Structure 1
Amino acid sequence: MDAALIAKCADPSLPPAIVEQFISAVGSDDPLAVTVKADGRLVLIPKPRSPDEAMAVIKDYVGHAIVRVGITQFPADVRVGDPSQLQPDMFDACANLRTGTGIFAKVARIVTKWYGRPTNSELLPQLFDDTVYAWKTGTFEGDNVFRANDPGGPTFMNKSSEKPADDGEPAAPPPESENSTQSAEPSSANVGGMRIDLSRIGGGR
């Protein structure tokens, strides 16, 4: 992942090292990537060659399958109330990174709050692992993380969000949970083995 793209587009509450690990764990190097899962199974689809083709795939499946998009593989309908509101800018690398890391940061705050907002940097790998797992499955402790309110507070151990807890996303993906194998690429590193380079994050606070 290009450092300049991260600096320009990623959520500022996430350190660049975390963003890189997030993309490595769940993302894709193809901005046009579309992953569709129905009834827990990956649906084979033709590889989109343009944003218009990618949008056509989304419109075919959104609403009755779980559709993940772009380099961060966020749920396509996570912030819209109606499929007709979906826009092709979700396939722009910067826009996708901004939206995806923003949602991932919210999930991180949910996980961090559940852990009691610890300050021990040795817990950071476990916090990260659990956040990635929640991103892949769509749930954490039985709650839909994409539908849940943003609790505010620390994002991992880096910094607090710049806004207070909100009233939830305008819309949510289908309530079906995804399993831990959800990824743009089946060969992505598995969650249990994920460890991040703490030295690049800067002291753990």
Structure 2
Amino acid sequence: MYDGRNGSSSPFEQTVYLLSEAGRAAERLLADRLDHRGMTSVHRALLSTLAQLGPHGRHDLIARVTAPAAEADQALDDLVAAELLRSMVVHIGGRQEVLTITTVGRSALDVLHADASATQEDLLASLTKGQRVELNSLLRRVCATAARGVGPRPVVRESAGWTLTAGPRRTWTRAREGADATAGPVAEAAG
């Protein structure tokens, strides 16, 4: 049984793993709802970007979403065909296609936001209202820290322990104690 007063000794129940698991669960639930609507997370991201940032050139918009260019391009075509986006050709410094969200697109985005809220309700059903507010506040702080970057990556010395070597025959090796940064690791059996 879960006891909120004591932390778990399992490394797989550390916060970083739990955040990852919760994120995967949220993405899976959102993807199910999007699929029910005939959409993907790329469709949602494109609609959201245009709603928040206004009209964009096709190439600039594709570069803004974290999806393969071909997938984002196809999603844009889907949204234009469904009249959720409007495409206009402008001639500023050459021919360029500019996309804007339509009124119907904003309505569709409102439905997707409602789906996200329902997913949130499902995920947080076991929390009180106060716990939900506190979790939201804490996650905002964590996300702000992540967006800033957590500073320079730590320098890991070879003497810090075990590492998986590079190359075609990868081995699990342990670095020599007191070895300098240029010395190679000494292979040992991982007992």
Same fold at TM > 0.5: no
> TM-score under structure 1 normalisation?
0.26
Normalised to the residue count of structure 2, the TM-score between the two structures is 0.27
Higher relative contact order (CA 8 A, sep 6+): 1
Which of the two has higher C-alpha Rg?
2
More helix by share: 2
